[in-house]
């Protein structure tokens, strides 16, 4: 699994995320990628890789789509949390 750390900004908050990518081909070329959201740093033994997107044909596109997905997820979580606190 190829792992990448990114910092995303959601509602003026910086959030560090880890994404994992797995290609369905041995050499990673011309394959379809599956994107995973890692629940913690890759070195943590309790880390879990949750699949979020699949069948993406480019590594760069997979990372971009993963970031967009996670931004939307965290934005929705923050909105729901703020609505419950009203």
pTM exceeds 0.85: no
Q: Which residues pair with 74 in a beta bridge?
A: none
Considering its fold, how many domains does the chain have in total? Answer: 1
Residue 8: φ, ψ to 5°: -110, 155
Domain range for 41 is 2-84
What is the reported pLDDT for 78?
A: 84
Q: Is 41 left (phi over 0), alpha (psi -120 to 50) or beta?
A: beta
**In 12-48, which positions are buried (b, 16+ CB within 10 angstroms) versus exposed (e)?**
eeeeebbbbbbbeeeeeeebebbbbbbeeeeeeeeee
* pLDDT, one tens digit for every residue, the chain (86 residues): 899 999 999 888 898 999 999 987 766 566 789 999 999 998 999 999 999 999 898 889 999 999 999 999 988 988 887 777 76
């Amino acid at each position: 699994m190829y792992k990448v750390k990114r910092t995303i900004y959601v509602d003026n908050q910086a959030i560090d995320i880890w994404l994992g990518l797995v290609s369905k081909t041995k050499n990673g070329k011309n394959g379809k990628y599956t994107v995973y959201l890692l629940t913690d740093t890759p070195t943590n033994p309790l880390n879990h890789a949750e699949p979020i997107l699949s069948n993406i044909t480019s590594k760069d596109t997979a990372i971009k789509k993963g970031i967009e997905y996670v931004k939307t997820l965290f934005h929705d979580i923050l909105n729901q949390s703020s609505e419950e606190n009203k």
